[in-house]
Structure formats: structure tokens, C-alpha cells
Amino acid sequence: MESSPDVAARAPAQTTSRQWLVNLVFGNRPEWLSHLYSSVLRVAAGTGAVLVLIWTAYQLHLNFAASGFLQLLIVLVVARRAGFWEATVTSVIANICLNYFFVPPVFSFVINDPQNWVALAVFEFSALLVSRLSAETRRQAVRASNHETELERLYAISRQLLLLDPHKAPGADIVRLIQTVFSVESIVLLDASVPKTDALGSVDAALTAETRAAYLQDRDVHRPDAHVWISVLRLGVRPIGALALCGPKVNLLTASALASLAAIVLERAHSFERESRAIAERQLEELRTAVLDALAHDFKTPLTAIRTASTGLIEMGNLTPVQLELAALVDNQTAHLDELTTRLLQMSRLDKHDIQLHCEATSVDDIVHSAVRKLKQRLSARHVRLEGLEETDGLVRVDRDLVVIALTQYLDNAAKYSNPDSPITITALTLPTEVQIGVHSEGPPIPREERERIFERLFRGEGGRRRAAGTGIGLSICKKVAEAHRGRVWVKSDAGCGTTFFLALPRLKEKV
């Protein structure tokens, strides 16, 4: 038998209604409906308790005052267990029941005596006030409990984060621990020092881009309505990354605390990485210094013998022009090798931590003239100008020989890398705490990216390699000499203005 169209149309509606009723009773409800359902149940429970207590008081022939206090107790329990609005509805129902059962004329809602009006009003006001205070106390207790829980979680995660291996990249472990402990829906951690981004959960490209933008703009982004908290990771005032958290269980305090912890852990890992790299570089430098020192000492003896033999051949005479030219070539190259080994030995001496400086009070004028005399032959074809030496009245307490070596290296580089027809200018400037010596020459500028590394050992810029031969040792010796005297070195180089190398040494306060 076929069903009629009306029956067929009513069937889905009945099924939907039945399903809605099942969901309402047994769960699987929306959040707002679940909250309303719970409130209705609490009000129903409070109303039932009021009715039972009213009937009991009526049977026991209690008076209005005693019944009112018992009803107030029910309202207080509802306020404590449920909330203010549930307690308010319960108090109104209790007030109505008191009026009906205990206020003459009983079993009616008529109130003839003004005193009864006052009594019922006082009861309702007292019930509302007590409900309000009880509900506020309950909310404060809940907030305190939640705050304590948050602190416990933060303490637990801080311990776990600080126990991470500092020699490994911590980003993946940080996001994993935060998601595990705080149950966030999605998390993005940007480590700007690497740079690297670690993420977990339902992360989309928009959240990652917003996290990066927050770091670049150094601006926190908090959207409580969307449960999105993006905090910039800072060390002091310096941003080092950003942390994005998404989820209803996260608040501003938690997001800020987790951002601070993540910043500490990231910087700790970076510090360990820098320390490990510095230790490795120092060990490599010590090994390289030891090798160069050994080679320099081993080279000295055969070079001395070769130089002696070549010089003897030249002085003996009776050589053909070709033989004389070859002997002179051997003698010149041997002298060059001897100079290189001398520099290696000087560098080895400066690399030792227990270096003993033979310091004495020396005038800047004496140091400059000694360096110029030492390179007299190389500078014979160049015009060397001295500026500011007459006005320089400061003395320096230095190891004179080492400082002369450093200044000689400046002059040697100026002669090799500057334009052949340009002058070389030596300047001296006396400041309250130091004396600055500058060697200026004209030639191609040093690129900005090379200026920071030009004082490193064995480093040579691209332009320097094309213009002249070298070893990359000389300027590192200058830096070592300055550091040994608690001074400093630097370079200024601009197109059209030339290049100036500076050596600054601490100044003696008084002449001796």
C-alpha cells in the first residue's frame, strides 16, 4: 500500500523533531543550547527544592520568618552551585511561594498588610544581594583556580623547555611542548635568527604570513574574538622572532608568558651555538698558529743559508751578466721569503696570550719617522706627506718595535694598492683619551662587505688580489698589535675620497 503525499511529507519533519529531542536530552548539543539546557536544569532543581521546603515548612506550621530564612538558604546554595541568574529566578519563585503560603490571607497572592510588603521586599533584596556576592565569590574562585592551573602549566613547560638540548635547534620541540601542554589548535614559531618557521596543527599560509608580518613590524596582534594571539619574541627591546597561538584555551597572559619563554630558549640555543663556533674557531686558530710558527722557524735556517750563498756569489764577482741576474733574483726572492717568515713569527708572538710587551713612553712623531725610514727604499718614488705631527703633543706607552711594524704595514699596503702617482699622507690626531694615526692613499675603494673582514688573517679582497701579490697576514698583525696595547684599528674607504687606515693607541695623560 502506497503512502499518501501528506504522510510522506510529515515523516521527515517527525524524524527531525524526534532527533532534535534526542539531542536535547542525551547530549550532542550546540554550546549555547547546552548552556541553556544546564541553566534550565539548575533552575528546575532549585524550584523543586523551594517547593519541597515550602511544603515541609507549611506542614510543620513554621512562621513566615523561619520559612524565609530556609528559602534564603536554598537561594544561597543555588547561587553557589549555579550562578546569579539561576539564583535570581529561584528567589523570585521562593518569594511567590512565601506570599502564597505564609502571608495572610494565605492561599492567595493578595497582600493587605504593608509590613508584609516590606518583609517580602527585604527577603527578595537579601536573596539577590546574597546571590550576587555568592556568584562573585564563585567566579573569583574559578578565576583563581584557572590562574593556578595556568601557572602550573607554565611552570611545567618552563622546566621542560629549559631541559631541551641546547645544541639542537629548539623550534620543533617548543611548538610540540606548547601544543601538548596547552592544547592549542594551531601554533607557529618564527625564529628570525636562522630564519626558520616551525608549525603544528591546522596552520594555513595566512597565519604564517601574519606571524612574519608581526615580527617585521615589531607589533603584537591579539584578536580575542577569533582566539588568535600573535606575540613578538623580544630580548629587551630587540625582536628575534614571533609566536602565534590559536585556540579558546589561550589568553593574553598565557600568550605573553609563552612568548617570553620561547625567546629565552631560542636565545639560549643561539648562545650555545655561538659559543661552540667560537671554541672551534679558537682551536682552529691555535692549530694554524702552531703550524705557521713551526714552519717559520724551520724556514729561517735554510733561508739564511741561501741568502748567504747568493750574496757571496754576487760579491765574488767573475759572473756573467746572466749569472749575475740569476743570483740577484735568488737574493731578492730569498729576502722576500725571509720577510714573510719574520711576519709569521711576529704573528705567532702576538697570538700568544702570555705576550710580554716592552712598553716605553714614545712620541708619535718618533714612531712615524721610524716607519718611514724603514720603508725608505720602497717609498722613494712616492710623495709622503706628514700632517698634524707638529700639533700632536700626546705620548703613548707602547712596545715601540711592534707599533712601528704595524705602521710599516699600513705604509707598505698604501704603496702597493694605491695609484702610483698619488701621494701618501700620514696624519696624527691627539684626543683626550687616545692618539689616532692615519695612513691615507688614493686608489680603488674597498667594498663595504670587505671592510669588516679585511683585518682577518689570510683574508684578501677581490680588488687587492688583482692589483698586487700578498699573503693576507699584514693587516691581521696590525689588529693584533692594536689589541695588545688596548687600542683599535679601522678603515674608511669611499670612491673619490681614497682609503684611510687608522691605528688608535691609548694616550698618556702626562708627558714624561
C-alpha count within 13 angstroms, C-beta hemisphere, residue 310: 18
Q: What percent of the chain has pLDDT over 70?
A: 75
Would you give the DSSP letter of residue 385? Answer: E
Residue 5 has pLDDT above 60, yes or no: no
Give the CATH fold of the 165-275 domain.
Beta-Lactamase (3.30.450)
Q: Do domains 165-275 and 359-506 have the same CATH topology?
A: no
Is the pTM higher than 0.85? no
Mean pLDDT over each residue of the chain, to the nearest integer:
77
* Tens-digit pLDDT profile for residues 113-154: 676 666 667 666 666 677 677 667 777 777 777 777 777 777
pLDDT digits 0-9 by tens, 364-383: 888 888 888 888 877 878 88
Q: In the chain, what's the furthest Cα-to-Cα distance?
A: 153
Asked if omega into 195 is within 30° of 0 (cis), the reply is yes
Quick: pLDDT tens for 306-325. Answer: 878 778 777 777 778 887 78
Which of 14-23, 229-238, 435-444, 455-464 comes out lowest in average pLDDT? 14-23
Higher pLDDT, 77 or 404: 404
Predicted confidence (pLDDT) per residue in 102-113, tens digit = 777 777 777 666
For the chain, the domains span 10-140, 165-275, 277-351, 359-506
Q: Give the mean pLDDT of 480-489.
A: 88
Angstrom distance (rounded) from CA 170 to CA 165: 8
| Residue 428, beta-bridge partner list | 437
The structural architecture, per CATH, of the domain 359-506 is 2-Layer Sandwich (3.30)
Which residues have CB under 8 Å from 114's CB, separation 6+? none
Confidence of residue 503 (pLDDT cuts 50, 70, 90): very high
